[in-house]
A and B are shown apart, each in its own frame.
Chain A
Amino acid sequence: MSRYVLVGGGVATAATATGLRAAGFAGEIVLVSGEPHLPYERPPLSKEYLAGTFGRGDFQANPDGWAADNDIELVLGTRAQALDPGLRRLSLSDGSTLTYDALVLGTGVRARTLPGFEGDRVHVVRTIADSERLAERLVPGRHLAILGAGFIGCEVAAVAAAKGVRVTVFEPEALPLARVVGPEVGHAMLDVHGEQGVVIRTGELVTGMSETPSGVELRTRDGEVVECDDVLVGVGSVPNTELAVEAGLDVDGGILADEHGRTSAPDVYAVGDVASRLHHGRHVRVEHHDTAVRHGAALARTLLGESEPWTGEHYFWSHQYEHNVQSLGRLGGQTVLRGSLEERSFTVFSLADGRITGMVALNRPRDLLQTRKVLAVPHEVTAAQLADEDFALKGLLPQRPRRSEVRA
């Protein structure tokens, strides 16, 4: 009987396991995760779980009985330590070894840390344990300093502010989130945070910290000393590629894989945040929940002999306060604004050669749903059309005869 071993406790490996069983795979499935939890979704760690509106059961990738019902062997709280692709053997931190017929690496990423920033008052958010540890510190009246106004920094700022915590965010760039979502959403979210009492100090860098008996003193590049109770380091992530590197797999930023997820080693696959996959002709590594799920589901089909890769558009979202940021496809190049900056209801499209390549939106889920379909078909559109709210995005889709309009 064949044995497929999945390494990693996120949604990518969970989707592979689910997909394999759904398609009737009868061999062994073993899922190894360094964390003690069933595979879970990470987006709520900096939002609903941190805020306390979700319990642990609300963001598991699968219900409690999933593993037993699907005959999936869970090896939790155990790390994959060494891989020998020649012998098709994986060594685990509990001293055991597993041989495999196929190995799926979904080892994810870890939060990037900063040298000199450590201790009981220094936080990151990547795991359930991280989120719980930070949540305990979000007490009204305390002062939380956040290093980095990326998604983690901004989402935690929103949750902390709502809990009555004083929040200061230090961001070396001129706007929050702007590197990923562009200046329009960056400006809007800068204002939103300001209105909620969060101080975002753009263009400022914290260069050092020291603990005092009652808190933390931060030093900025300009020599200012800022006192706070806790520090969140939100400066990005590092892919967990060590296992792959030591095993001799091709790694460049992430574990290199083709459009099916196949790495340079036979029968070894990479999915999710750690994978740098061929996507429309170039290697791309993205850390999006949606992409991880789709990688995982597509890999199940690949393992069962189907040859259709996932070629969909990359999608991500962020919720901060009552605002919803969504992004789809590739941003950059010529941009066109549709909607109202003042009303915080707009989409910024990216255009190339009369074709939409991507979009980012604030509070415009309808635009997103329609653009998703438009991106999947040949289309031609002008900047003026996109900027005109009377121009229906739906009009860019091939016209179908309307299904029966005869009422019963």
Chain B
Amino acid sequence: MADTATGQWHAVMDVDDLWEGELESVDVEGTSVLLINLGGNQVMAYRNRCPHQDWPLQDGDLDGTTLTCAQHLWEFDVTSGRGVNPANCALVGYECKVDEDGTVQVRV
């Protein structure tokens, strides 16, 4: 997280291409970023690595707002990034915004 405050904004995709309920991964300057459309023009961006053992998350399952990692079934609340099971961990989040023209921007 320390680098996000000084990171640069990057246009990564159009929000119309980011379906609700789907997990999308994009490469931002060599960093794999997981994007999740919560609806209402709210998009969340996380480092695309499970905090447990660094497996990529895009093969996981998104059910409502709960993301389950496909490897060891760790669960996260994607509205906050916080661990659900186990509760003592969290996804690494990036600032993310949707411009008026629908461009999704991530600060990495």
Which of A185-193, A258-266, A367-375 participates in binding chain B?
A: A367-375
Given B39, B41, B72, B87, which contacts A22 in the complex, CB threshold below 8 Å?
A: B87
Complex Cα distance, B86 from A293, in Å, reads 7
Contact (Cβ within 8 A) B71 A372 = no
* B71 partner, pick from A48, A294, A324, A402, beta carbons under 8 A: A324
Indicate if the CB atoms of A403 and B71 lie closer than 8 Å: no
Question: Is A34 engaged at the interface, CB distance under 8 Å to the other chain?
Answer: no
Chain B residues whose CB sits within 8 angstroms of the CB of A365 once the complex forms: 59, 70-71
Q: In the complex, are the beta carbons of B68 and A62 less than 8 A apart?
A: no
A404 interface contact, C-beta 8 A: yes
- With the chains together, A49 CA to B41 CA distance in Å? 42
Q: Which B residues are in CB contact (< 8 Å) with A11?
A: 86
User: Which residues of B51-75 are within 8 A (CB) of A?
Assistant: 53, 59-61, 63, 68, 70-73
A290 interface residue per 8 A CB criterion: yes
B40 at the A interface (CB under 8 A): yes
- Selected from A18, A315, A403, the residue in CB contact (under 8 A) with B73 is A315
A contact residues around B68 at 8 Å (CB): 369, 372
Question: A18 and B61: CB pair below 8 A?
Answer: no
* Residues of A in contact, count (CB < 8 Å): 33
CA distance A294 to B72 in the complex (A): 13
Picked from B39, B59, B61, B87, the residue with its CB within 8 Å of the CB of A404 is B39
Complex-state Cα separation, A165 to B70, whole angstroms: 31
Interface size on B, residues (CB 8 A): 24
- Bound together, the chains give a CA A145 to CA B77 distance in angstroms of 45
The answer to whether A18 and B59 touch across the interface, beta carbons within 8 angstroms, is no
Q: In the complex the two chains form, what is the Cα distance from A293 to B74 in whole Å?
A: 10
Which of A63, A294, A366, A369 is packed against the most chain B CB atoms within 10 Å?
A369
Q: Taking the complex as formed, is A391 at the interface, i.e. its CB lies under 8 A from any CB of chain B?
A: no
Majority SS of interface residues in chain A?
A: helix
Contact indicator B70/A404 (Cβ below 8 Å): no
Closest-CB distance, B101 to chain A (whole angstroms): 11
Residues of chain A in range 164-218 having any CB-CB distance to chain B below 8 Å: none
- Chain A residues 31 to 61 lying within 8 A of chain B, measured CB to CB, are 44, 48, 58, 61
Most buried by B among A294, A402, A407: A407
* Complex interface residues of chain A between 313 and 369 (CB less than 8 A to chain B): 315, 317, 324, 365-366, 368-369
Q: Which of B16, B85, B102 contacts A294 (CB 8 A)?
A: B85
Q: Which residues of the partner chain A approach B15 to less than 8 Å between Cβ atoms?
A: 407-408
Contact between A373 and B53 (Cβ–Cβ < 8 Å)?
Answer: no
Interface residues of A (CB under 8 A from B): 11, 15, 18-19, 22, 44, 48, 58, 61-63, 66, 289-290, 293-294, 297, 315, 317, 324, 365-366, 368-370, 372-373, 402-405, 407-408
Residue ranges of B at the interface with A (Cβ–Cβ < 8 Å): 15-16, 19-21, 39-41, 53, 59-61, 63, 68, 70-73, 85-88, 98, 102
Extra A-B contacts (12), CB below 8 Å, given A22-B87, A48-B53, A369-B68: A11-B86, A18-B87, A63-B88, A290-B72, A290-B73, A317-B72, A369-B60, A369-B61, A373-B61, A408-B15, A408-B16, A408-B41
